[in-house]
């Protein structure tokens, strides 16, 4: 079978791919692997378990809690909270393990399990691999070594989790949001209670949409993947800005007062300048992926901020930040990591800091975001090709070289083999959308003929 763990935990259709038995088995395996690794040495282990509001999260949470307790781990059940809240509480409460049940921006039938190590950091790949192999070994028959009597884990609801997390968010803001009217689209997701409370406590006048989760409506026509309702609401209410989260609130996109989208690159640009002003942008460096808009790179160069680029995926951004001690990084999709205050992307924190910059500067978000000009970006997927030959095809290299000469300093070409499908993604940026389309179409034809 293929690897269970993807870049963001284990994910699939709940009760089909991701069953109660699998959730229970993976939780027991995680407890055993962490015990082997010495994480629990000398004390009784504790885990923090949270979920988003999906209906399937109810039975999957029960399975995870049962698995952990049966392996001798005490469980603090925090209920419906964002992924970054579970990561934060894992660190703040000194827990040995955090578990979040969510499929983020995916549709309601999906769900997922994500494990956090002590401190609230993502588990190392080798630990995930070990959990998977131990799970497989026991799924096929080897019995678990189980504690009995007082050795079994105890379970309690940790109702203070929301308050502790909100206090943390508001406590790290450099200034208040008084006088700002803000529309929040909660995607009927995990931040439906947390985010309005945090923004209100920080002084904003809050209007909410998508804040009535019923277990079935998460991400349904709302949130960061569907911005139309937020755009309309911002204009209708005369708000200064709008903030949209996804289902587990680890990402944030914004809308300015005219109803125009402000994407992750623009948010990063605004926050980078704000943090540098406060001497909080270590090494005057921001980390982003190779998919960031060229306009972002040009803006950072112009402002004297160094840009470090990584492979696509917030995990690679986070690895680079941690290894070099950088303070800010993120992706165009709205995953923004502020490492001084969070161990993972935190959509509520990002939105709060963006609003704080608007409040403190007295300038509208539209003006702040104009520090970068988003260059037109065209993405073409070319299916059914031999993606392994992208780097070795002389014909393709010649075509890319010609395209780069044509685009000059104001354009860019990126060919990227898909990680999961037999296709190559052709991305072209140019100052002019017609030129971008023309160059992307030409390159897609060469990919087809050279690699088909």
Are 67 and 28 in contact, with CB atoms under 8 Å apart? yes
> Does 386 belong to an annotated binding site?
no
> Does 256 belong to an annotated binding site?
no
Concatenated DSSP letters of 16-71: TTB-HHHHHHHHHHHHHHHHHTTTTTTS--EEEEEE-S-THHHHHHHHHHHHHHHT
Concatenated DSSP letters of 264-312: HHHHHHHHHHHHHHTT-SGGGEEEEETTS-HHHHHHHHHHT-EEEEESS
Query: Which residues are part of the catalytic machinery?
Result: 104
H/E run at residue 133: helix 125-139
> Does 104 belong to an annotated binding site?
yes
d(C-alpha 167, C-alpha 47), whole Å: 21
**In Å, how far are 69, 70, 89, 401, 437 from 77, measured between CA atoms?**
12, 15, 11, 55, 50
Instruction: Give alpha helix (H) positions in 325-420.
Output: 347-361, 365-369, 394-407
d(C-alpha 327, C-alpha 286), whole Å: 7
Can you say which residues are annotated as belonging to the binding site? 104, 246, 248, 250
Can you say which residues are annotated as belonging to the binding site for Mg(2+)? 104, 246, 248, 250
């Amino acid at each position: 079978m293929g690897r269970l763990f993807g870049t963001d935990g284990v994910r699939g259709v709940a009760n089909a791919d991701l069953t109660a038995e699998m959730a229970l088995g993976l939780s027991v395996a995680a407890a055993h692997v962490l015990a082997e690794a010495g994480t629990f040495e000398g004390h009784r282990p504790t885990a923090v378990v949270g979920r988003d509001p999906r209906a399937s999260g109810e039975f999957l949470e029960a399975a995870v809690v049962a698995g952990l307790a049966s392996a001798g781990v005490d469980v603090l059940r925090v209920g419906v909270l964002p992924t970054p809240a579970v990561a934060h509480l894992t660190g703040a409460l000194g827990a040995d393990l955090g578990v979040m049940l969510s499929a983020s921006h995916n549709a309601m039938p999906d769900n997922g399990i994500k494990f956090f190590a002590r401190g609230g950091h993502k588990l190392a790949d080798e630990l995930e691999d070990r959990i998977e192999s131990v799970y497989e070994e026991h799924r096929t028959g080897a019995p678990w070594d189980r504690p009995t009597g007082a050795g079994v884990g105890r379970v309690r609801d940790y109702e203070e989790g929301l308050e502790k997390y909100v206090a943390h968010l508001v406590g790290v803001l450099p200034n208040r949001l008084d006088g700002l009217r803000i529309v929040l689209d909660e995607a009927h997701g995990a931040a439906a209670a947390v985010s309005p409370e945090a923004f209100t406590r920080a002084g904003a006048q809050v209007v909410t949409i998508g804040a009535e989760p019923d277990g079935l409506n998460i991400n349904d026509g709302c949130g960061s993947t569907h911005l139309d309702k937020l755009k309309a609401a911002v204009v209708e209410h005369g708000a200064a800005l709008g903030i949209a989260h996804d289902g587990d609130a680890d990402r944030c996109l914004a809308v300015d007062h005219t109803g125009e989208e402000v994407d992750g690159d623009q948010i990063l640009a605004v926050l980078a300048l704000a943090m540098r002003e406060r001497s909080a942008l270590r090494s005057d460096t921001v980390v982003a992926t190779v998919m960031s808009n060229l306009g972002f790179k040009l803006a950072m160069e112009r402002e004297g901020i160094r840009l470090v680029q990584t492979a696509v995926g917030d995990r690679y951004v986070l690895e680079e930040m941690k290894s070099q001690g950088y303070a800010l990084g993120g992706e165009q999709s709205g995953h923004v990591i502020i490492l001084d205050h969070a161990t993972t992307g935190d959509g509520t924190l990002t939105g709060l800091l963006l609003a704080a910059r608007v409040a403190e500067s007295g300038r509208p978000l539209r003006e702040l975001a104009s520090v970068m000009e988003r260059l037109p970006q065209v993405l073409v997927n070319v299916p059914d090709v031999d993606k392994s030959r992208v780097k070795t095809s002389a014909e393709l290299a010649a075509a890319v070289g010609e395209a780069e000469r044509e685009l000059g300093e104001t354009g860019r070409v990126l060919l990227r083999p898909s990680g999961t499908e037999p296709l190559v993604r052709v991305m072209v940026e140019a100052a002019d959308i017609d030129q971008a389309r023309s160059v992307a179409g030409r390159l897609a034809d060469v990919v087809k003929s050279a690699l088909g």
